[in-house]
Structure 1
Amino acid sequence: MRTSTIRPAGPVVTGAAVVAALTLSACTTARADRTTPDPAPVTATASAPEAPPVTAQELALLAAAEDALVRECAADHGVHLPQPAAASGPERAADPADVRAFPFVVDSPGWAAEHGYGSDLDAEREGARTSDPTRTYLQSLPAGRRTAALDVLNGGPDDPALRAKLPVGTSIGRSATSCTSRAQDALYGDAAQWFQASAATGNLEPLWTGRVLADQRYADAVGPWSDCMSRRGHDVATPRDARQAAYGTPDESATASDEAACATTTGLAAVVADLTTEHESRVCQEFRADVESRRALEHAALGRAREITAELTPEQIAAGARTRGAPPCEES
């Protein structure tokens, strides 16, 4: 049996699978009033080759290891969290059938015919979230005990804070003595570096998404797509208009299928693919230090993660895939 490796002295914060269940109260992950200096991004040395992105399986392994460490830490504080449910179906973060794969226009006729704009998948994910064992456990506690448990899991407002600078220029903070921070320190070797690298890279996608939408070439390609949709009976100016009009309605699948067909025949899908590659590459290069830091920390942690999860079943490890999205900048 593995011996305990984390012993925080104060309140704690959740991590990994636990974090999804903690929408019961506000977390302390966006504090900007602490005095801890912003960490500088960790850069790769000139002699060290750049690490590739971790695989989806490795990402799940890291998430499961962090989750195990957080649960161990919480138990040390008298909060005995249930194990996460085994991962299956569209609630898994690594599942390719995800509407987030189409941030600009649905361009897969087969996917559109089956899922429309993804309202069915969203409903299944919401069902999995609301039935999460940790969420259910916390909701079942009497008010006083639930407050105490959430205090343990979320940390206290007076805790010393880790800080990270986001790509948009703002900074966020999180308790440095939380179980999340303690677990990440044990897993990655430096909680402050991991917080900076993961927070920065986790917020890169909105940057390149916004740049694609603001690109005149995208606007120029949307015009013919809108004309195509009009000929099919949809009076919409943009793909967002189409999604907002049809999402969750009986017409969802038909509208999404028309959207995908028009995206292909008018060339919008090809333009979106080219612009996404262009802007994603630029953003990833702009924040190359954070990307390389994250990759290096993840690869260095894999050995520890395998040791920590040695007693877990493949299903328990796979459950970790729900808690994190794909690694950022996979192709750069």
Structure 2
Amino acid sequence: MQRHRPVRATAAAVAAFLLLGACGSATGAPSGPSPRAAADPAVPLAAAGEPSAADTRLLERAEQILISRCMAGRGFPYAVTEAPEDTARSFPYGVDDVAWARAHGYGGRDQRAAARAREDDPNQRYFRGLSASGRAAARSALMGSAPVGLSATAPTGMTITASAEGCIADAERTLYGDLATWFRVKVVTMNLRPVRETRVHEDRQYADAVGQWAACMRAAGRPYPDPDASRQAAARFGEGMPPAEADAAEAELAVIEATCATGTPLARVSQALDRTYGDRLRARHREDIALRWRLQNGALATARRVSEEAA
């Protein structure tokens, strides 16, 4: 059974993905580690030269410019937009920051604001105004007619495919040269986080810490067995309350959750396990991480030229 999954490109391309539907697909195909993944953990990753945040923004902007040029050549306008600052925080093991919880709850208000920003994206507005046949043509121009030509197996065991045609593929080929290699290392490195989080959730130490957290929550009148159940309860607030009341109720519950996380071993244990499994995964996939960095660094000269030409 196949499930469609987007592969991250630029912020504007993501907006188009959300509207048009991704051309990438993923199939559950567990596999063992490849020989490339067994890199020597004694070699420091820093030797590969991790791109700075400014370098990453430059690459993303250049990719958007290249996509825009390509789409114009195929008869479709495509706006180059600045990626919004990502202020969202992720708490995969339960909210453990009381101050953040008091200000943001579980992030529901922030998510609504982000959704409104996506709605205002000029590419979103343009694609929404197209006919069904027009959207299909635009999707094909942007992402290729079918998710074939590129394939990579993520650390999750899922095989992800995408088109080697279309303007996104052309832009990435211009920047990184070997599109198949870029696609593979991008898929691998982007999917380390879900593997890490799964391993933490499956660890006995985490389960024991959740048990102590749940006892704290029961004592506070919130009998949820785990942080996921607490989060689901908060999500239901919006179904029967006005937004302001739902946000207040969400924040109240999130503060209780965070107080219990920091008042029991949950925050300490989950953070320690996250570091441990993260270090192991980075060591195992060291070569792919370093190769991604080398490809990004190698693309910077082209990205600067593309950006200067568009200025």
TM-score range, shorter chain: 0.7 to 0.9
Contact 2:23 2:163 in 1 (8 A): yes
In 2, distance between residues paired with 1:207 and 1:40?
Answer: 19
| Equivalent of 2:203 in 185, 203, 215 | 215
Equivalent positions of 1:128-143 (< 5 A) are 128-143=117-132
1:155 aligns with 2:144: yes
CA RMSD of aligned residues (A): 2.8
Deviation at 1:225, TM superposition (A): 1.3
Give the equivalent residue in structure 1 for 2:242.
none
Aligned to 2:74: 77
Q: 2:303 aligns with which of 296, 300, 305?
A: 305
User: For residues 66 and 310 of structure 1, do their structure 2 counterparts lie closer, same or farther at Cα, with a shift above 3 Å needed?
Assistant: same
The letter for the 2-side match of 1:29 is G
Gap runs ≥5 in structure 2: 1-6, 28-33, 239-245
**Deviation, structure 1 residue 42:** 9.5
Counterpart of 2:60 in structure 1 is: 63
Superposition deviation, residue 303 in structure 1 = 2.2
TM superposition shift of 1:65: 0.8
Preserved CA contact (<8 Å) 2:37 2:286: no
Q: 1:49 to 1:231 in 2, by over 3 A?
A: closer
Give yes or no for the alignment of 1:251 onto 2:249: yes
The corresponding residue for 2:4 is: none
How high is the TM-score relative to the length of structure 1?
0.78
Counting only pairs closer than 5 Å after superposition, residues 174-253 of structure 1 correspond to structure 2 as 174-247=162-235, 248=238, 249=246, 250-253=248-251
Q: For 1:92-171, what aligned pairs fall within 5 Å after superposition?
A: 92-93=85-86, 95=87, 98-100=88-90, 102-157=91-146, 161-171=149-159
C-alpha change, 1:267 and 1:240, in structure 2 (3 Å) is same
Q: Secondary structure at the match of 2:18?
A: coil
Paired AA for residue 304 in structure 2: R
Rounded Cα–Cα distance in structure 1 between residues aligned with 2:110 and 2:74:
36
The 1:99/1:131 distance shift into structure 2, 3 A limit, reads same
**What is the alpha-carbon distance in structure 2 between the residues aligned to residue 251 and residue 47 of structure 1?**
46
C-alpha change, 1:18 and 1:225, in structure 2 (3 Å) is: same
Find the residue that maps to 1:163 and give its secondary structure: strand
Count of aligned residue pairs for this structure pair: 286
Relative CO higher for 1 or 2, CA cutoff 8 Å, sep ≥ 6?
A: 1
Structure 1: runs of 5 or more not aligned? 1-12, 33-38, 314-332
Q: What is the aligned partner in structure 1 of residue 20 from structure 2?
A: 25
Equivalent-residue separation in structure 2 for 1:51 and 1:137 (angstroms) = 40
Residues in 2 aligned to 1:47 and 1:209: alpha-carbon distance in whole angstroms: 23
CA displacement at 1:23 relative to structure 2: 2.7
CA distance in 2, matches of 1:301, 1:43: 26
The match for 1:281 is 279
Within 2, Cα distance between the matches of 1:206 and 1:304? 32
Q: Which amino acid aligns with 1:302?
A: L
Deviations 1:275-297 (A, max 9, x none): 00001111112222211111111
Amino acid at match of 1:147: A
For residues 303 and 242 of structure 1, the distance between their equivalents in structure 2, rounded to whole angstroms, comes to 48
Give the drift of 1:147.
2.7
What is the distance in 1 between the residues matched to 2:189 and 2:218?
39
Give SS of 1:23's match.
helix
Counterpart amino acid of 1:192?
A
SS of 1:173 mapped into structure 2: strand
